[in-house]
Every structure is written in C-alpha cells, then in structure tokens.
Structure 1
Amino acid sequence: MSNQQLCAVYARVSLDRQAESVEHQVTLLRELARSRNIGRIPDAFVYQDTGISATKHSLWTRPAMNRLIKDADEGKFQVVLFKGISRFARSTQEALDALDRLRSKGLRVISYEENYDSAKDSGNFTFTIHSAVAEYEAEKTAIRVRLGNKEKARQGLWTGIPPFGYKLKDRRLVIDQEEAEVVRKIFDLYVHEGYGTFRIAQMLNEQGCYPRSGKRWSRTTIGYVLKREAYKGWVVYNRKTQKRVRDYDSPIQGKKKWIRQLNPPEEWVIVKDSHQPIIDESTFEHAQEILNRRKVKETAPNVQHPLTGILFCKKCGEGMVCQKRSYKDKQYRYYICKTYHKYGRSYCDQANINADDLECGIAEKLEQCIQDQYDPLKIQQYVVYSSFDAKRLEKKLKEMNDKIGKLNKDNADLYFERENMNEEQYRYLTQRIREEMDNLLKKKRTLETERDLAQNDEAANKEILTHMEDFFIMDRSKTHEFRRFLHYFIDRIEIEDNKTYVQTAFSF
C-alpha cells in the first residue's frame, strides 16, 4: 500500500490514567503505520482528547472525536488508527455506530491492541466482541472504584475534587483560608443579611470574586454552596448514583444520557466531624430552613410552558425560561433569558417578553404559514403514492424471496446429485449458484431498504396530515396539547428585542 495514503490517529486518556500519555499512544500508532507501510500521519490529523472519561462522556460529545468525524466526512484521510477499542469507546453501541459511520465513508479502521483491521475483517463480529469486552471491563472498574471510595469515605477521606473553600492533604479536607472567607460571606449574606442567591451571585461577580473555575457565580452555584454538608465538617458519600440510560424520547432515538438517582438513605455514607468546619452547624441548619421555606414559596405549579425548549435569546444564544409574577392579585407569565436570570441584566439586556402575547403571536404565525403554503390535497396524494409504492415493493420482495427459496432447493438437489458428476463440474455449478445467491440477496437488501423508506414516507405524511387537521381544532387553553403541537411544527424560535424569528420543522 502506498505511503502517500493519509492516516488519522485518535488518542484519548482519562483523568485517572495519565500515566498512559496521549503522546505514547500517538508514537505507538505512528510506528505501527510505518512498520506495516499503511500510510503517512500528518500532525494535523492527530486527534487528542485528554482528561476525558469514555465511561462518563459519550463518544459524540468529545471535542477531538467530533473534529475527526467532521474531517472524515470531508474525505481528508483514508485510514483511522487507535490504540485500543477502550480508548475509542466504552459503549458497544456507540463504538459500532462510529465504526459504521467511518466505514460508510470508505475509511479503513485499525485498532492496535485487538489487531482489528476493517480491510481484513469486512463484518462487525470481531469488533463487536472486543467492544463488549471493553464495556464489561469499564463496568467492573466502576464497581471497584465505587466500593473503594465508599471505604475511604467511611474513614473520613475525601474522594473527589475538594469543594470551594478547601484543599486536600493526604485525602483529607484542609481549609483554604482565602476561599473559606468567600464561603463565610455567602452564608452570612444569606442567613443574617437576608440576601437571595441571585443577589449574592451578582454582588460577588461585580467584586470580581469568582469560583475556582474562573466562571461567574450564579444563583445555582450559590445554592450549591449553601447545601454542602462539607462546610459543617461532614463527609457525605453515595447519596446519589450517576447512571447512563437510553433516552428514547430524544430526537436521536436510544441516545444515552446521564441521570442522577437518589439512593436509599441506608446506603449513604455519613461521617461527622471528619475535618475542620468552615460554618458552624447552627448557621448551616438555619440556611437549610431558609432554602426550604423559599423553595416552597417560589415553586410554580407543574405546568409545561408551551415555548420552553424551542425559544432562545438571539443576543446571547441561551434558552429562555418562563416565570410567573403576581401584581394586585393577578398573575402574569414572562419568558426571560437564562443569562439574565443567572447573572443579571448587565450580561444580557434582552427584555422580558409577555408569555401570553408571544404564544398567541407564534400560534397565529404558524396558522398563517399553514394556510398560505400548505396544501392538504398535495400531501394526501403523497400518502396515496407512498402506500402504492410500498405495496409494489412488497410484491417485488415476495417474488425475490420465491427466487431465493427456489435457488436454495436447487442447491440442495445439486448436493444429492454430486456423485453423478465429476468434481470440476460440481464445483462449477455450486459456484454459479453461490454467485447467483449473492446477487439475489444484494437485490433483496436494496428492495427492503426502498420498501422501508416508502413505508416511513407513508407513515410520516399521514402523521403530518393528521397533525395539520388537528391543529385548527385544538383547544389552546390546554397547555400540554398546545405545547405538543408547537414543538411538533417548530424547530426553533429566536427573540431579539421585539423581533421574532421562527424556524419551522417542515418545508410546507
């Protein structure tokens, strides 16, 4: 194979495996490409994800992997190499999806540790086995780490990154005096001065006093500080468990997402007086009482506002959320920018929008769009055509299956007649049948794909037609029903000052 062929390398190392450096993986794969004469690896085609756990971070959310996929789609290289499938992905399904995507672009995929080469192994069986082993090993490692952390927590040791206000010494929390002063200030303002979380965040940001990450304080991060038992000298572990589950309600069916579940109290590990407190217990408990009281007072009814999830601020790009305000015994709803909601008007000056007026205006725009450009008769014709096309292809598939069945019978008959012919004649006839069978199976797969697409088109067109008809007769006062229709027909709405930009989900 020519050395002019361009190769890409994907390397990853998680936070707990820094000993196995990215540089080591890249050096190893360069030597592999050289020794096997696979091709050339330009520096621009080395993709590195450092400090990223394959168990906690989906393959599709890693920055370097996203760049590799984008460059692969643009045909910048012909081969992709990685040290092992465990460096690539810890989810069997994700690994197979990525492999299929790369191979669909005509790329050769090579894994050093498993000695896998897609140019030699045309199927996915070997890759699937190795991916499943990698996923199983990741699960075993996670269990071992969790059990080890539980034991450390029982000894009063801290198992993660120290909270703001502390540093670690021999896995025990030790007060960081400079940060601890900020923590004390937060509790003092909240408990004794009557400040809210939003006002505290705003004050600290204006003073240039930021968290360790360098990001701005928000009402969420201030609330998180106020709830942490570590500040009263406790170590609390295993209160919640983080799990990856398949999200079948997402636009990408079956995509995995992380959820945090509360464990039964008997599984919690709580060690009191494990380190020096920053806040006395009385002040901490007083803060919890205020948090709980305000939480009950501010909790809105369980209403899904029609535009949340598809409404965005065009100025800063953040989503917009809905809030309720009361004035003279009357309630008003407003959509407000998340940036303003978190950090204040100085960070985004998008004005609040009256929810009722905006929702009514969006509904009228959508209704007008449908009436002006949507032709129910035309889509009804599509439904009829899709149905006819699906039936036609189903008939062809039946004919194809009959041919395959006949060919299988011919092959069986030939086997029983093999003693009545010489070896060369038998080999020639069996080869002819095998080639014809391969050809028929290929045609069958093509027909099945076309049939499935036609059936999907038929179902989709019927669904659109039904939703269009129902849209004009729905009761907009039923919030959940109104929200469902808006989210079905609209992909995104952006607000800039008083201007509204609507991006529909369909080309009517």
Structure 2
Amino acid sequence: MSTDHQKYSTENQADVIAAYAAKRNFEIVRSYADEGRSGLNIAGRDSLRRLISDVQNGEADYEAVLVYDISRWGRFQDADESAYYEFICRERGINVHYCAEQFDNDGSLPSNVMKSIKRVMAGEYSRELSSKVFAGQCRLITLGYRQGGSAGYGLRRHLVNEHNEQKAPLARGEHKSLQTDRVILVPGPDEEVETVRRIYRLFVLELRSEREIATILNQEDKVTDLGQPWSRPVVRQILSNEKYIGNNVYNRVSFKLKKKRVVNTPDMWVRGDGVFEAIVDPMLFEAAQSIFADRARRFSDEELLQLLSSLLGARGALSGMIIDEVDAMPSSAAYRHRFGSLLRAYELIGYTPARDYRYLETNRQLRLMHPEVVADTVAGIERIGGSVAPDCETDLLLVNHEVTLALVIVRCQPTPAGSLRWRVRLDAGLRPDITIVVRLKPGNKNVRDYYLLPWLDVGTTPRIGMAEENGVYLDAYRADDLTPLYHLLRRHTVERSI
C-alpha cells in the first residue's frame, strides 16, 4: 500500500489472499508486505526485494506467490519490469497467482494479454494521478496554501478550514486530518521574527557575510528551528527564500514518479505572490538578491586566477574549504568547472599543495577516457551490424532496441603489499542487462581487461571488490577484449524447418 492513510489496505488484501488460498488448499507459510510504500519502483520496496532475493538464492520455502492483484505487484512505469520479477519466480518453479483478478495466471494467450494490458494500465494510472495531483497543488499554491515541507525559522504552519478561517497551529511532524483543511504560513515567535530581520540588516546594511552572521548568532547561543547551531548555508537559505516576503513558490525541483530529480528553471516555477504575511521588508529582500547576483557575475579566467593568487598570498595555502570560506569570491566548484580541476588552477598560479592530490587527477583522466571507450565500444557493435542508441540522461547504451549496456571504468589501486585491487560500483537504479567493467592497469592509463557482468547474476550486489584473481563466480565473465560481447550481440540467422 502507498500511504499510511490506507491503514486497512494490507489487512483487506490479506483477507482476499487467505480466502483464495483456502479455496485452492494452499497453506500460507510466509508473508511479505510493503506498507506505506509506493509501487512506482522497487527502490523502496524492501519486502519485494527480499522476496526476489529469497527466490533467486534458493531460500524460498514455498511453491507459489499470492498477490492481491497486478497493481499491488507494482505500478512500474515500465510494464516489462513487473513481468521481469514474475519471470524470476516462474523460472525457479514458483508460480505467481493474482487473487483478485478475473483470470487465472496460467500462461494462456488470454491471460498473457490481460496481464500486459493491466500492467500498462497500472503504470498509466500513476502517471494520470501524478498529473492531476500536480495540477491541484499548483492551484492551491496560487491561492496561498502551503504544500508540504517545514515552515522554516521565523515562520509557523497554521491550519485553516474551507472558509480560510484559522483553526489551530501545526507543530513539527503534525499533519492536517480533514481533506477540506489547508495549511498556511504565519509569523513565528517574536524573537525568531526579529532574528530574521536582523540577519537581513546585518547582510544588507552592514555588509556582513553569511559566515560572519552565523558566528554572531552562535556567540549569542541562538539556535535554528531544528535546535542546531547556525551555519553559512542556513543563513543563506533565509536570505534567499521568498516566503519571508510572503511569496509562495513551488516546483523549483521536480521528482515526478520517483524518476530523475530535476532542478527547474524560474519560468517553470509556480508562484503565489503576497499570499502570506511578510516578516521582511521587500526592499531589504531585493537588496540581498542584488548582492547575490553581483557575486554570481561571470569572471574571466584572469580574474579568477588573480583572486586565487590573492587568497594564496593572504592564507599561505589553498584548498577547496579555504576557497569556499571566502564569500566575496567564487566557490571551489566554479574553479573546477572552469579549469577542469583545482589542481590545474593551482598550477596556473604556480602553487603546489603539500598533500598528494594525484588521485583527483586520476579521476579527471577517467572522465576523459570514458567517452573514448564508449565510442570504441559503439563502433565495434556497429561493425557487426548492430544499432546503438545512447541515452544522454543515464549513459546507458540500447543495442538493437532490446539490450541495455552500462560501461564502468575502474581505476587500479595497488595495496601497500604490492597486490592490485579494483572497486566496482554498479548502479542499482538503472538495472542494465550487462555492465561492462573496464579494469585499468597500474598507473590508470591503459586497459588491463574487461568483465561482462549480467544483471541477473550481479544485480543484487551494488559494490564488488576485485583482485587480480577472483574465482570462477567472477572470472567466468572476464575477457581480454570485447570480442565475447560482440559475439553475444551479433545477429544470427536461424533457419526454420518446414
């Protein structure tokens, strides 16, 4: 079940499943339940993951899996994912029964057609519901109602009824219980409101940095709304959030259907201006945003290096933390983006750090090597007549519209004893059919060998430690080049006997 409000949902499912089992003389020996979990993906479905793991590892002490209906198996956005998990069970002799469906899951043509339709319908239901919920949330935002999240320092959440009449304040962790009720933001305690206004005065009028403001508040033994000490990010959040001037802003970040998290551009934000009581003068707020905008102006390479050189002269050393401590200059991330790495920026001003940062250069070298290895792999597949469609968002390669490949380059890490080690990290969220692990030689400039790891065998192991010899369970997938992969992907003509 997807929400805590459906408190009887799993009990109702259990009753139907129990009746189904009794009618067919099944004995229920174990139960798996994902309560309060969305069925959009398997990431939060601990019980379903445990069921699949038990089946794959031969630990399943049962002959059948009883599910209420197809939508309870999962509302996966890719209908084939639901079929894949059912196939895992069936492949090991465990049949899946859908107790509330009007058909038997017996492998017949009508059964397979109905399952396919209902799997697609289950995913489509989530997509339609997501669109409707989003549209409703956007309307409520423009009307001045808060949609989730804590109020923040200096503000409080307050419950109102359908007539917009205030009912009661909401403490942290409390939620509205009536569907017709709504939540608004109101000024918090006078002491917090005055602290927020003081933060703006210190920043705009006295030109204090966020870090200086945090230090001042900590010296006065003030704490945030979470009871934590003040920090630069917390002060920055207060200085940049429009809720303090009464604006309700929504959809800055999207995470629809539990897919990729997207930071939206301002033109996609949903706004309700002036819908809350402001606790900060709008003129002060605009002045603060002007200061931020001036900081964010684009510096030339020469200006960036001059600022870095001046900081080196003042501090005597450089690091990402030292750079980020200076509010008046760009962040360390800006230097990495502009020059490729902090080490490269250091070299341009003639600075050599005392600590050995060569591993950072190795990471940069791996990033540069990755496109070349991918291009060589694609060229090899195309030489055997295959088609390859790269996914720009996930970097997966779709071969012949049916097989997905992931490519991971792993650096070599010699141990103090002189042996070699490689640490492989697999992306459990993408679930490629085959992961191509490219192991590098010592020095991390040349390829040593390849491992072609199928998801069916290694998908439940997100991290793999490798040595020079790993035993047959891993080395069975080892190859000196990608010839076995090309052979696997090559189309073969199959003659039909008449």
Superposition TM-score, scaled by structure 2 size: 0.50
Q: Does 1:90 align with 2:90?
A: no
1:272–1:94 CA distance, 2 compared to 1 (3 A): same
Cα separation, 2, equivalents of 1:217 and 1:113: 54
Superposed CA deviations along residues 220-270 of structure 1, whole A, max 9, x for unmatched, are 55544443322211122345544469xxxxxxxxxx5333433635xx443
Match of 1:59?
A: 42
Matches within 5 A, 1:101-140: 101-115=88-102, 118=105, 120=107, 125-140=113-128
Alignment equivalent of 1:227, drawn from 240, 256, 267 = 240
- Secondary structure class of the residue paired with 2:34: strand
Give the distance between the partners of 2:221 and 2:8, measured in 1 at CA. Answer: 42
1:70 pairs with 2:53? yes
Question: What does residue 168 of structure 1 align with?
Answer: 158
> Deviations along 1:266-307, whole A, 9 cap, x unmatched?
xx4432221222333233333333444445599999xxxxxx
Give the letter aligned to residue 68 of structure 2. Answer: K
1:148-188 alpha-carbon deviations (Å, 9 max, x no partner): 2232233223333453232132324142635x855753563
Residue pair 1:111, 1:117 contacting (<8 A) in 2 also: yes
What amino acid is the match of 2:288? A
Equivalence for 1:148: 136
Given the superposition, is the C-alpha separation of residues 146 and 64 from structure 1 closer, same or farther in structure 2, using an over 3 Å criterion? same
**Structure 1 pair 26–241 and aligned structure 2 pair: CA distance change class (3 A):** same
CA 1:24–1:470: 2 relative to 1, 3 Å: same
- Checking the alignment, whether the CA contact within 8 Å between 1:226 and 1:287 is kept in structure 2 is yes
For 1:201 and 1:96, locate their aligned partners in 2 and report how far apart those are by CA, in whole Å: 56
Answer yes or no: is the 8 Å Cα contact 1:116–1:127 preserved in 2: no
User: Is residue 14 of structure 2 the alignment partner of residue 14 of structure 1?
Assistant: no
Question: Matches of 1:210 and 1:259 in 2, distance apart?
Answer: 28
Could you say which residue in structure 1 is the equivalent of 2:32? 46
Q: From 78, 81, 86, give the equivalent of 1:99.
A: 86
1:136 is displaced (CA, Å) by 1.1
Question: Residue in 2 aligned with 1:328?
Answer: 313
Cα offsets for 1:315-347 (capped at 9, x unmatched): xxxxxxxx99941289976477xxx9xxxxxxx
Change (3 A) 1:273 1:103: same
**Structure-1 residue corresponding to 2:261:** 258
In 1, Cα distance between equivalents of 2:54 and 2:282: 55
CA gap 1:175/1:327 in 2 versus in 1, 3 angstroms: same
1:188 aligns with 2:198: yes
Q: Measured at CA, do residues 235 and 360 of structure 1 come closer, stay the same or move farther in structure 2, by a change above 3 Å?
A: closer
User: CA 1:174–1:261 in structure 2 vs 1: closer, same or farther (change >3 Å)?
Assistant: closer
Tell me how far 1:114 sits from its aligned partner.
3.2
Per the TM alignment, residue 69 of structure 1 is displaced from its structure 2 partner at its CA by 3.2
Q: Decide whether aligned partners of structure 1 residues 232 and 299 sit closer, same or farther in structure 2, where only a CA change above 3 A counts.
A: farther
One-letter code aligned to 1:84: D
Alignment of 1:434-473 (within 5 A): 472=445
Indicate the residue corresponding to 2:188 in structure 1: 177
Aligned-partner Cα distance in 2 for 1:324–1:106: 68
Query: 1:310 maps to which residue?
Result: none
Distance 1:128 1:206 in 2: 64
Match among 354, 358, 365 for residue 360 of structure 1 = 358
CA deviation vs aligned residue, 1:350-378 (integer Å, no higher than 9, x gap): xxxx97754436889xx9xxxxxxxxxxx
Query: Match of 2:214, as an amino acid?
Result: I
Q: Supply the distance in 1 between the matched residues of 2:47 and 2:216 (Cα, whole angstroms).
A: 35
State the match for 1:25 in structure 2: 13
Provide the C-alpha distance between the structure 2 equivalents of 1:146 and 1:136, rounded to a whole number of angstroms: 15
Q: Which residue identity does 2:312 align to in structure 1?
A: Y
Checking the alignment, whether the CA contact within 8 Å between 2:210 and 2:235 is kept in structure 1 is: no
Counterpart residue type for residue 140 of structure 1:
E
Deviation at residue 503 of structure 1 after TM alignment? 5.8
Q: Which residue of 2 aligns with 1:159?
A: 147
The alpha-carbon distance between structure 1 residues 292 and 62, as it changes in their structure 2 partners (threshold 3 A), is: farther
Aligned-residue CA RMSD (Å) = 5.6
> What are the residue-to-residue correspondences of 1:287-326 with 2, within 5 Å?
287-295=288-296, 326=311
Letter in 2 for 1:264: D
Match for 1:279: what amino acid?
V
Structure 2 runs not aligned, ≥5 long: 161-181, 303-307, 326-341, 344-352, 366-383, 385-402, 408-433, 452-463, 470-479, 481-498
Amino acid at match of 2:275: S
Question: Does the CA contact (< 8 Å) of 2:253 and 2:261 recur in 1?
Answer: no
Given that 2:75 and 2:126 are in contact with CA atoms closer than 8 Å, whether structure 1 keeps it comes out as no
CA contact (8 A) 1:191 1:287 kept: no
Structure with higher RCO (Cα < 8 A, 6+ apart): 1
Relative distance call for 1:120 and 1:472 in structure 2 (3 A) is closer
Instruction: Compute the displacement of 1:121 (Å).
Output: 5.3
The answer as to whether partners of 2:242 and 2:248 remain within 8 angstroms in 1 is: yes
Cα distance in 2 for partners of 1:176, 1:34 equals 59
Distance 2:39 2:52 in 1: 17
Q: Report the 3-state secondary structure (helix = DSSP H, G, I; strand = E; otherwise coil) of the residue aligned with 1:60.
A: coil
Classify 1:59/1:242 alpha carbon distance in 2 versus 1 (closer, same or farther; 3 Å): same
Q: Secondary structure at the match of 2:280?
A: coil
Q: How many residues align?
A: 334
Q: Does the aligned pair in 1 maintain the 2:253–2:263 contact within 8 Å?
A: yes
What amino acid is aligned across from residue 12 of structure 2 in structure 1? Answer: H
Give deviations 1:191-247, integer Å, cap 9, x for gaps: 5163526973997799694656x89877555544443322211122345544469xx
Tell me how far apart the structure 2 counterparts of residues 114 and 184 of structure 1 sit (CA, whole Å): 61
Q: 2 CA distance for matches of 1:64 and 1:217? A: 40
Q: Out of 203-212 and 230-239, give the one that drifted further.
A: 203-212
Distance 1:105 1:331, change over 3 A: farther
Q: How far apart are the structure 2 equivalents of 1:22 and 1:215?
A: 39
Which residue is equivalent to 1:375? none
In structure 1, the gaps of 5 or more residues are 1-11, 246-255, 302-322, 341-353, 368-390, 392-451, 474-484, 490-501
CA contact (8 A) 1:99 1:109 kept: yes
Matched AA of 1:48: D
Query: Structure 2 CA distance, aligned partners of 1:222 and 1:64?
Result: 41
Match of 1:285, as an amino acid?
E
**Structure 2: how far apart are the matches of 1:29 and 1:210?**
50
From the two aligned structures, give the one with the greater helix fraction: 1
Distance of aligned partners of 1:169 and 1:334 in 2 relative to their CA distance in 1, 3 Å threshold: same
